[in-house]
Structures are given as C-alpha cells and as structure tokens.
Amino acid sequence: MNDGNDKATGSAGPVERILSAARRLILYAGIAIFSTTLSALFVALFVNVVLRYAFDRGISWAYEIPYILFPWAVGGAIIVASCLGRNIQINLFANLVPLGSRRLIGTCVNGLVLLICLVVVWTATPILNASKFMRLAETGIPQFYGMSGLVVAFVAVAIVSAIDLVHLLLGAPYLDGNAPEKSLS
C-alpha cells in the first residue's frame, strides 16, 4: 500500500504522516518479534543439541520452547509481510479493471481483511482464556503465552488493514502498477 506520500507534490498531509508512522512502528515491532523469537529458539535448540552430543544429556525444557516461541515467530513474520504488502494476494482481477475501479476493490479487500481479523480475534478469545489453564509439562508455563502471539499478529494485521483502508479513502492508489515488483511469487 502507499506510504501516504503524494508523489506529485512530494508532501503528505498530517493524517497520512501519522498513519505511515504507525505502520512503520508496527513493522519494526514485527521485525523485533520475529528476529528475537527466532534467535532465541535457534540458540536454545542449538545449545540443547550441543549438550546432547557432548554430555549425552540435553536441556529437558528445550523441547517446550517451540510451543511458546514459534507462534510468536510466525506472528512476527505475518506482521512484517502485511506491513510490506508481501502477503498472499491475487491481483489478476484488480489489474484487469481501470485504475479508478481499483480503489473500490482495494477498499473492499482491506475492509474484508479487517473484518476477518477482528472475527478471528473475537472467536479466539475463549480459546485464549482456556489456554491460561493449560500448562507445559516440564516448565509449567501456560500455553497462553504461545497462543497470544497469533492473536497479536491478527490484531496487528487488522490495524495495518485499517491504515490501508484510510489511505484508500484519502485517495491513495491501489495496485499502482508496482504489484509484480513487490510479489515474491
């Protein structure tokens, strides 16, 4: 999505600047979540492997670390992909319609993504509450801490979709021709 800058004048309004700053903050948070959790996961499992081979005994809680950290790593990656516009998207139909109609498609898509994310968060609340009472066997850590990573990711994607929706309503273009360059497929 557009970062809020008006290409013709080189300036952005205060709303666009605030939205772009919020989006950057969410992006940096996603990068921090992903890199921290993936690094911690790697170090814990690597140390466990080294101990297992060197002393024929590993860290017993190292097997439970992925239950807590992996959902956060996935959530962080989802946040980063959403902020950078590198998530899964099909642009065939949007590229077939005139530029003026693309904004309507973008508004509908972002509105639908926002709605889906909010429904997922709403329906996940009872499961998240129940996970407070489910504890990992070795460490005793509630599974709530792992599952909350995915809820945080859906909240962040909802916020990014809301930011994109506001950008579109303020007149930003949707799929301005850079979609093939941004696509990783």
**Does pLDDT of 185 surpass 50?**
no
**The tokens of 135 are what?**
């504890």
- Distance from C-alpha of 109 to C-alpha of 166, rounded to nearest angstrom: 13
* Residue-averaged pLDDT of the chain: 85
For a pLDDT cut of 70, what percent of the chain falls above it?
Answer: 85
Q: Where are the domains of the chain?
A: 14-182
Q: Which of 100, 114, 110, 86 is nearest to 178 (CA)?
A: 86
Per-residue model confidence (pLDDT) at position 177: 56
Per-residue model confidence (pLDDT) at position 7: 43
pLDDT digits (tens, 9 = 90+) for 51-60: 999 998 888 8
What is the pTM (predicted TM-score) of this model? 0.82
**Does pLDDT of 36 surpass 50?**
yes
